[in-house]
Amino acid sequence: KLQFLYFIVHPRRYRHAKMVSQQEMQEKQKALLEAEQKMQILGSQVSTLEARAAGYNKEGRRSLFTERELNETPDDSRVFKSVGRMFVLRPKASLIEEQKNRQATCEEEVKKALELMETQKKKLADANEDFNKLYISFTEDLKKK
pLDDT tens column, 82-94: 999 999 999 999 9
pLDDT for 16: 44
pLDDT for 132: 86
Task: Provide the residue count of the chain.
Answer: 145
Is the distance from CB of 39 to CB of 127 less than 8 angstroms? Answer: yes
Any idea which of 58-62, 73-77, 108-112, 139-143 has the lowest mean pLDDT? Answer: 139-143
Phi, psi angle pair for 76, to nearest 5°: -90, 0
CA 9/CA 4 separation, integer angstroms: 9
Q: Rounded to an integer, what is the distance from CA 144 to the centroid of its chain? A: 36
pLDDT for 18: 47
pLDDT tens column, 39-73: 899 999 999 999 999 999 999 999 999 999 999 99
pLDDT for 21: 65
